[in-house]
Amino acid sequence: MFEKYVIVPGTLRNTVAEGRSTGYEIGVRMPYYRGLALSMVEDVALTVDGVRALAEATTVTVHGNSYRLTELGAVTDDRWELGEVAVVRVAHPGGLAPGEHDVEVVQRLRISYMPVPGGGRARAVVELSD
Amino acid sequence: MFEKYVIVPGTLRNTVAEGRSTGYEIGVRMPYYRGLALSMVEDVALTVDGVRALAEATTVTVHGNSYRLTELGAVTDDRWELGEVAVVRVAHPGGLAPGEHDVEVVQRLRISYMPVPGGGRARAVVELSD
Amino acid sequence: MGPSPRGTSGHSITRGVSLYSFQEEFFLRTMALRDAVAAAAGMGATDIEIIPEQSIAGFPHVSDAWVAEWHGLMAEFGTRPLAYDFFLDTLLHPHRRLTHEEQVASVRRDIDLAVRLRTPLLRAIISTPAAVLRDAAPYAEAAGVKLLLEVHAPFHYQHPWVLQHLTVMDELDSPALGFMPDLGCFVERFPRVVSDRALREGARPDLVALVVGTYDAHGDTHGLMDTVTYSGGGPVDVALARQATHFTWRDPRSLLEQMHRTHHIQAKFYEMTEDGTEYSIPYDRIVDVLVEGGYRGCLSSEYEGNRHIQDAYPVDSVEQVSRQHAMFERLLQGHEDGRG
Amino acid sequence: MGPSPRGTSGHSITRGVSLYSFQEEFFLRTMALRDAVAAAAGMGATDIEIIPEQSIAGFPHVSDAWVAEWHGLMAEFGTRPLAYDFFLDTLLHPHRRLTHEEQVASVRRDIDLAVRLRTPLLRAIISTPAAVLRDAAPYAEAAGVKLLLEVHAPFHYQHPWVLQHLTVMDELDSPALGFMPDLGCFVERFPRVVSDRALREGARPDLVALVVGTYDAHGDTHGLMDTVTYSGGGPVDVALARQATHFTWRDPRSLLEQMHRTHHIQAKFYEMTEDGTEYSIPYDRIVDVLVEGGYRGCLSSEYEGNRHIQDAYPVDSVEQVSRQHAMFERLLQGHEDGRG
Ligand SMILES: [Mn+2]
Ligand SMILES: [Mn+2]
């Protein structure tokens, strides 16, 4: 469901602090037909060019509010809305090289009425934007 | 099936070369009711005290024949027999400390008549033997 | 509060749209709430069903301004709020399940919001325990709303889970409890939008034919995944076989069993064809059964085909829902001569 | 080569033991082949079924010495080799499936070994494609052996997969092709060894009762996993619900449908109770059906309870199989007055 729309083209960028690339970020949608409290987002795992981002190095930002991926379980009072493009940031000193990158996003959602986890896997080649 | 017998007590040992501990080994049985060509053993993943052994650092020895875990896929002419205690060795310089260790073994077997992978998970506290 | 009988006509069935139908457009921001209500009204629907967790950013915090806009839209387009679909996030927290009291509180929260949105019917998701509806019923009764369990495939009125609900309904005999069948229980033919997508993803045509043929013959889907595996099928083929075990076909006459407790119907559909019929669900026979049973309520469109075609085709949910309403009109017309 | 009728008796059914029954003891090296054959003979069984991949180290390379020992054991204990269970490792290689020709070659390899072991019947695992048996049949015919598809739960003679086999059997009309039902198709009651283990692993007693009750009433197990999830069940509860969808119950009279092609029977069982009956499979009615249908062949014990009790109890497969044979004797005795 909605796999095609999970990875948002044109949103892959390096993050920069004091003139240095500290990592990268990309816009990601949730593959589900309603919004969900962040406490039910069990994982948003990014893999770029075969290198999997550590959960500890990942943050998720929805409508301006940033959370560490590892701390989402406690966030019952904020939501990832339907179709909202969240910004997923990964601390990765040096950032990504210019050009195209193979991006994979695996999401695991805890949907109360499903006996198995929700979510899904999306993969796309994305060009690094400035 | 047979989970209880997968990890063989009394078989956890450090491996030693030139007076130094180079890693550890443990006796493991396959949780299945027949023998299987090694090419169908997709994984034998050891985790000791929460540290997962790398596939690249793991070897499997059946009746005296040793194979790298990563190369088992090509071994169609040797088998892990029913109930046979294979020796699983992990390169881990320094080896394990004396005393008890929390050992987990996850096996994945490619069973042709099953739509999902076979194998299973076993866990036990095992004392390091001399 | 219920739908009004049409005087001389032979049925008391109204037409509605669940905004669930426009999930593709909401997701991609190509339609807003106003567009959706306008579209529904444009096809002659009178009733609107809403999934607040889908349509209202910031849920469960809903501003008075939002509510005012909602009622403004209803007035502007001549529609009425009819149903509110609630979820019950029993697994809200990572390491513990909501307690019974927390679950009841969650339903009460939704009742409060339903009162503000003036939706007299609430969809209780099938996973809602019977004891939770039992203990929320008095609150619903006081609020003048109904909690209707959505009987969704693979469930039915003889299923152990639904029997627990029937026991509570029998004991409580509350006007606030009832059912809302989802017509996805009546998939007579395997939806071709699903098998076509599998083919696009590389499924083997002979295995697709096997899965579809077995389903369409209402054959034994037990062991269908194994059969596909034994035949050398890959993950896409096996996934299609798994889907065949998720659809269900049963006789639409089973709708008559609890008609006295049926106050709303979710008219699930996968594909309205160009000739104006649903490819897999026999709406003609279903409407006949509803009229025969004297159903007084809404047929609320629930389009769910988008997820099966979005990989390759543009999704036009408005066109799909419009076709369904043209079909509703045609089928209901046949009962408007007073013979119902 | 087939079982010999008993002259004046009313049936032509022999008793056998599949060495599958002693998998626990073989696995743990507490019994060797000789012990197993001696045990089978000791309970009056005449026929031995072997799973070479389980019993013969070094398979598929089997020495003449091993074969000589095998026949020596048969002679010593007065038993005869009857059946050879083959597997078909279509997924032998990680990245490709065996070709059709390789699959046929695998079956031929097993036929060659069966000839050496003098087992006239081969169990073709249910996953064997019909085309593979079709193309191996002439070789089997020349070798004087039969390839018998093991019809295992959830399969049956109307199942699409088995229908493919029936088509081949009808077309080829070869004496080398037939069936070997596994009586695990006839699980009337949920095996308590399975539910008891779930309880030991922490399953919720009310959910165990729901799963077992639904199964025993032959109710709808569709949605049982969901029901357990909605009721707050954890992984052990959900796994038990999944198991309820793997067992099957059908009328033992369905055995009559292909009796003319039934040349062997795997007498699967989970628990022989102290009173000498199988807890979940109605062997009394099954034996009646077999006699009524004029079945000429073996009831070959297939004990599969060990995996469900080994976590907590000592496994005594010999005792379990002995009890089953005492039951066979009792039930067959009832038909030895010539009325069959
Ligand atoms: Mn629905
Ligand atoms: Mn069997």
Q: Do D225 and A115 touch (CB under 8 A)?
A: yes
Task: Tell me if C1 is assigned to some domain.
Answer: no
Residues D102 and D238 in one domain: no
Residue A105 has pLDDT above 90, yes or no: yes
**CA B91 to CA C32: how far, in whole Å?**
59
**CA D47 to CA D25: how far, in whole Å?**
20
Task: Tell me if C7 is assigned to some domain.
Answer: no
> Residues of D with CB below 8 A from C248's CB?
222
pLDDT at C312: 95
Q: pLDDT tier at D4 (50, 70, 90 boundaries)?
A: very low
Is the distance from CB of A37 to CB of A78 less than 8 angstroms?
yes
CB pairs under 8 A between A and C: 67
Average pLDDT estimate for D157-163: 93
Substitution target in D207, D227, D229 with the highest count of A β-carbons within 10 Å is D229
Nearest CA in chain C to D247: C222
Residues C186 and C208 in one domain: no
Rounded to the nearest 5 percent, the helix, strand and coil shares of chain C are 50, 15, 35
How many A from CA of C152 to the centre of ligand 1?
7
Ligand nearest to the CA of D304: 2
Average pLDDT estimate for D148-171: 95
Question: For tokens 């457009």, what's the residue?
Answer: C25
Domain boundaries, chain B: 3-127
Which of B76, B81, B113 has the CB atom closest to D92's CB atom?
Answer: B76
Residue A104: is it exposed, middle or buried by C-beta count within 10 angstroms (0-12/13-18/19+)?
A: middle
Question: For tokens 């993969």, what's the residue?
Answer: A123
Residues D31 and D144 in one domain: yes
Rounded to the nearest 5 percent, the helix, strand and coil shares of chain D are 50, 15, 35
Is the distance from CB of C281 to CB of C186 less than 8 angstroms?
yes
Nearest CA in chain B to D92: B40
Residues D306 and D210 in one domain: no
Ligand nearest to the CA of C269: 1
Task: Tell me if C328 is assigned to some domain.
Answer: yes
Residues C177 and C214 in one domain: no
Cα–Cα nearest to D288, from D186, D208, D176, D193: D186
Task: Tell me if C159 is assigned to some domain.
Answer: yes
- Amino acid identity, position B40: M
C249-290 pLDDT per residue, tens: 999 999 999 999 999 999 999 999 999 999 999 999 999 999
D215-243 pLDDT per residue, tens: 999 988 888 999 999 999 999 999 999 99
Residues C121 and C176 in one domain: yes
State how far the alpha carbon of A45 is from the alpha carbons of A14, A51, A104, A127, D256, in Å. Answer: 17, 11, 8, 19, 55
D247 torsion bin: left (phi>0), alpha (psi -120 to 50), beta (else): beta
- Indicate the residue among C202, C217, C242 that finishes a domain: C242
Ligand nearest to the CA of C152: 1
> What are residue A79's DSSP bridge partners?
A37
Average pLDDT estimate for A12-25: 95
Is the distance from CB of C267 to CB of C124 less than 8 angstroms?
no
**CA C103 to CA C288: how far, in whole Å?**
38
Residue D5 has pLDDT above 80, yes or no: no
Q: Do D126 and C229 touch (CB under 8 A)?
A: no
Task: Tell me if D8 is assigned to some domain.
Answer: no
How many A from CA of A33 to the centre of ligand 1?
12
pLDDT at D9: 57
**CA C12 to CA C297: how far, in whole Å?**
7
Residues C160 and C220 in one domain: no
Residues D98 and D226 in one domain: no
Residues C92 and C201 in one domain: no
pLDDT at A116: 83
**C80-86 and C47-50 strand pairing:** parallel
The ipTM of this complex is 0.86
Residue D7 has pLDDT above 70, yes or no: no
Is the distance from CB of C331 to CB of C325 less than 8 angstroms?
no
Q: pLDDT tier at D3 (50, 70, 90 boundaries)?
A: very low
Residues C67 and C213 in one domain: no
**CA D17 to CA D20: how far, in whole Å?**
8
**B79-80 and B51-52 strand pairing:** unpaired
Residue C7 has pLDDT above 70, yes or no: no
Residues C32 and C170 in one domain: yes
Query: Going by C-beta distance under 8 Å and a sequence separation of 6 or more, which residues neighbour residue D67?
Result: D116, D117
C189-247 pLDDT per residue, tens: 999 999 999 999 999 999 999 999 999 999 888 889 999 999 999 999 999 999 999 99
pLDDT at C338: 54
| Per-position DSSP letters for D235-296, written without gaps between them | HHHHHHHHHHHH-----GGGGGGGGGGB--EEEEES-B-TTSSBSSS-HHHHHHHHHHTT-E
| Tally of structural domains, chain C | 2
Average pLDDT estimate for C96-108: 97
Residue C2 has pLDDT above 60, yes or no: no
Is the distance from CB of C304 to CB of C270 less than 8 angstroms?
yes
User: What secondary structure letter does DSSP report for B50?
Assistant: T
Residues C35 and C45 in one domain: yes
Domain that holds residue C238: 192-242
The encoded tokens of residue D292 equal: 């009524």
User: What secondary structure letter does DSSP report for C19?
Assistant: G
> Residues of A with CB below 8 A from C200's CB?
none
> Residues of A with CB below 8 A from D225's CB?
115
**A41-48 and B58-62 strand pairing:** unpaired
